[in-house]
A and B are shown apart, each in its own frame.
Chain A
């Protein structure tokens, strides 16, 4: 109660001009929040409504027109589960690989006595701004023999310079005493790194892991150009067929008689597909919220 009183009085003390600015600001913020929430609610509601009703009348709260058909059709289709499974495997594998390589590399780069630090730094940072581009990379992957091989989407991007810089900055904030103590105990670099340094760096590890996981889960370009077999496609490519190309898996709509009916059903399937495919991350991300600020802060210190 007291806190609230204090707040009110603080607001009351402010001049008229300040109040106008603040109220305008909060109204704009409120509008932005509404703009985020309304489409989401619309999609959720629409996913339950019979396609013909939706097309003719829009949203309705006449529950007799509500149906779970779209969910049944999407969930009973094999390809979307294949997509889920692949996305999960790729995202976990990519996250593990990327976090290990990036955290390892960040350690020598965080030490001022590391000879060759300047050299490696230049080598790494150049790649943030300059690259060979699409075709040379594609030809390299094809020469290695990784076309239609999941390694093509997992390995090349595993080392992230940006994340290395963030991890490096975080390591530099760890007290030197820890390292000196480990030195005296005769611990090797590996022992120090895994047993002493990493345990105190969990916030930054969680942050980087989350970024990499979400990044892999949500991307489609690499999979689109490198993976051709349907059995290897991640979720986003399955979604692309349904949402962007309006070509759902034949099995989802084939029992419909007319082309028009099929097209209508294909539209309805989009809503349910969006909900089903976004649900896992939507449920997961609030649990990571506490790490968001940490990670960004660590990276922001030195840019």
Chain B
């Protein structure tokens, strides 16, 4: 009986003094709150959290004139309409295929590039190779897609080399290859930087010891270089999986033509067209929200799987 009666009065002042301490700290360090963190905090609340509240529109027949408060609630009607529409599966599969195949092809190449760069002994040559590898990253999406369209046009370079005159941009079956290959062309070099950086941390002594022990190339990679980049690879992989559904709008939209829509219409381009072009705000928000939810589920489950495989280490 006596225990709780003593712990309550003892707990309260402690809590109060902790609050008091925080208050004293904040008063003493007011600059940290008002000058340093406030701008970022306000931007985050206004431009990130208020729109999060705005997903309520996905459950409404939103009327721009009446606003959120005056519009009619329709519950899950938009979701039902989207999920039961014949196009739903097609857009979902287009999105998934584009990003999953993009990940399967695109993920290992930067790692391979980093291994190869790491084995170029001459610093000068390495730097020149890197300069070329990084260059496409500085080309804009629009220019990249412009180049792709030029090279693949019926009279373009690719058809000239093949001696054919296909119009690749109008072929749905060619879209994914175009999208993924041009993505690798543009991004693989740049993405390799993070692995190159991690590899430069690999102990040189360890590598020399391995060479003296007579380890061959594959053994060296397995015992010295792979351990140095393993964590980076894992984090990058989890992040990429977490972004599977947020595959970029900009490039898909710039590579779309009326005729390749069967493969190129993905959820983000669909959201844009239904929402901003057709003015179907409620429906478009619902589709976007559906997309985000799948994305979060993927991220969380991927993190859990990696944690299990990697002895409790995730992000």
A interface, CB within 8 angstroms of B:
7, 10, 14-15, 17-18, 21-22, 25-26, 28-29, 32-33, 35-37, 39-40, 42-43, 46, 55, 58, 100-102, 104-105, 107-109, 111, 113-116, 120, 123-124, 127, 129-140, 155-159, 164, 188-190, 193, 214, 217-221, 225, 236, 239-240, 242-244, 267, 270-271, 273-274, 277-278, 281-282, 285-286, 289, 292-293, 296-297, 300, 303
Determine if B288 and A134 form an interchain contact, defined as CB atoms under 8 angstroms apart: yes
A129-B296, A135-B57 as given contacts; A124 in contact with B132, CB under 8 Å:
no
Determine if A136 and B52 form an interchain contact, defined as CB atoms under 8 angstroms apart: yes
Q: Does B50 contact A (CB under 8 A)?
A: yes
Q: Does B266 contact A (CB under 8 A)?
A: no
Determine if B57 and A130 form an interchain contact, defined as CB atoms under 8 angstroms apart: no
The complex places the Cα of A270 from the Cα of B127 at a distance, in Å, of 31
CB distance from A279 to the nearest CB of B (A): 11
Q: Does B240 contact A (CB under 8 A)?
A: no
The B86-145 residues at the A interface (CB cut-off 8 A) are 112-113, 115-116, 119, 121-122, 127, 129-136, 138-143, 145
Cβ–Cβ < 8 Å partners of A25 in chain B: 112, 115-116, 119
Determine if A132 and B53 form an interchain contact, defined as CB atoms under 8 angstroms apart: yes
Cβ–Cβ < 8 Å partners of B136 in chain A: 36
Enumerate 27 A-B pairs (CB-CB under 8 Å) in ascending A order.
A14-B216, A26-B116, A28-B116, A55-B155, A58-B155, A104-B39, A108-B33, A108-B36, A108-B37, A115-B25, A120-B37, A134-B288, A135-B288, A139-B57, A139-B281, A140-B50, A157-B47, A159-B40, A225-B276, A236-B141, A239-B142, A240-B254, A243-B145, A244-B142, A282-B135, A285-B138, A293-B200
Determine if B142 and A139 form an interchain contact, defined as CB atoms under 8 angstroms apart: no
Q: Does B203 contact A (CB under 8 A)?
A: no
Q: Which of B64, B138, B281 contacts A281 (CB 8 A)?
A: B138
Looking at B232, B235, B268, B275, the one whose CB has the most chain A CB atoms below 10 A away is B275
Segment with Cβ contacts to A, from B6-14, B146-154, B304-312:
B146-154
Q: Does B185 contact A (CB under 8 A)?
A: yes
The complex places the Cα of A194 from the Cα of B113 at a distance, in Å, of 39
Determine if B130 and A289 form an interchain contact, defined as CB atoms under 8 angstroms apart: yes
Determine if A115 and B285 form an interchain contact, defined as CB atoms under 8 angstroms apart: no
What is the size, in residues, of chain B's interface with A at 8 Å between Cβ atoms?
93
9 closest Cβ contacts across the A-B interface?
A136-B54, A132-B51, A243-B146, A133-B288, A105-B40, A218-B140, A136-B51, A156-B47, A18-B217
The complex places the Cα of A132 from the Cα of B194 at a distance, in Å, of 30
A42-B157, A274-B146 as given contacts; A132 in contact with B151, CB under 8 Å:
no
The B256-287 residues at the A interface (CB cut-off 8 A) are 268, 271-272, 275-276, 281, 284-285
Cβ–Cβ < 8 Å partners of B72 in chain A: none
A120-B41, A140-B50, A236-B142 as given contacts; A129 in contact with B299, CB under 8 Å:
yes
A104-B36, A240-B142 as given contacts; A133 in contact with B55, CB under 8 Å:
yes
| Inter-chain CB contacts under 8 Å: number | 258
Tell me the nearest residue of chain B to A20, going by C-beta.
B217
CB distance from A67 to the nearest CB of B (A): 18
Cβ–Cβ < 8 Å partners of A218 in chain B: 138-142
Cβ–Cβ < 8 Å partners of B276 in chain A: 134-135, 138, 225
Cβ–Cβ < 8 Å partners of A22 in chain B: 119, 217
Question: Chain A's interface: helix, strand, loop or mixed, by majority?
Answer: helix
Cβ–Cβ < 8 Å partners of B149 in chain A: 243-244
Determine if B141 and A220 form an interchain contact, defined as CB atoms under 8 angstroms apart: yes
Determine if B157 and A39 form an interchain contact, defined as CB atoms under 8 angstroms apart: yes
Determine if B36 and A278 form an interchain contact, defined as CB atoms under 8 angstroms apart: no
Cβ–Cβ < 8 Å partners of A101 in chain B: 39-40, 43
Looking at B140, B253, B288, the one whose CB has the most chain A CB atoms below 10 A away is B140
Further 14 A-B residue pairs, CB within 8 A, beyond A21-B218, A28-B112, A135-B276: A7-B122, A25-B119, A33-B129, A33-B133, A108-B32, A108-B36, A114-B29, A120-B37, A131-B51, A136-B51, A136-B53, A219-B141, A278-B139, A292-B193
Q: Which of A29, A225, A285 contacts B129 (CB 8 A)?
A: A29
Cβ–Cβ < 8 Å partners of B281 in chain A: 135, 139
Determine if A39 and B131 form an interchain contact, defined as CB atoms under 8 angstroms apart: no
A135-B285, A140-B54 as given contacts; A270 in contact with B132, CB under 8 Å:
no
Q: Does B15 contact A (CB under 8 A)?
A: no
Q: Does B166 contact A (CB under 8 A)?
A: no
The complex places the Cα of A100 from the Cα of B243 at a distance, in Å, of 27
